Amino acid sequence: MSDGMVKIDSVFARKLGFTGDKFHESSYLWKRGNYIYISFIISKQPGRGNFSNLVKRILALGYGVKVPTPSAAMRRILQHLKFRRSVEYWAEVREYVEVWVKEAEEG
């Protein structure tokens, strides 16, 4: 797949496990190079492992996972999943943003 938005239930999204039975239809991901950015996601069944399973599947497919500017609740989940905090410059907004990262080989 080329870089860009990954819409829920698209062919590539289904390969990742990013499907409408697990996540709210307003959720979306971005693919940039060898990373999948989880920009906005809402599980339909919080606490059932949908997010963790999505991360595991993305890593298993050889992509790293990045989560920009997570909420406090998401930050706790990312810490539990052993993501590391970093900062990236985003040209679109002309500023540095907090991004939590898990590399594919860390999966």
- CA 48/CA 64 separation, integer angstroms: 22
Residue 7: its pLDDT value, please? 93
Q: How confident is the model at residue 107 (pLDDT cuts 50, 70, 90)?
A: low
pLDDT tens string 14-56: 999 999 999 999 998 999 999 999 988 999 999 999 999 999 9
How far CA 32 is from CA of 14, 36, 48, 73, in Å, comes to: 18, 6, 28, 25
Please count the structural domains in the chain. 1
Q: Which domain holds residue 18?
A: 4-106
- For residue 27, the domain's CATH number is 3.40.630
For the chain, list the strands marked E by DSSP. Answer: 4-7, 28-32, 35-40, 64-68, 84-90, 95-102
pTM, 2 dp: 0.92
Strand order in the sheet with 95-102: 4-7, 28-32, 35-40, 64-68, 95-102, 84-90
- The two tokens of residue 97 are 């943003």
More confident site: 79 or 92: 79
One-letter amino acid at 64 equals G
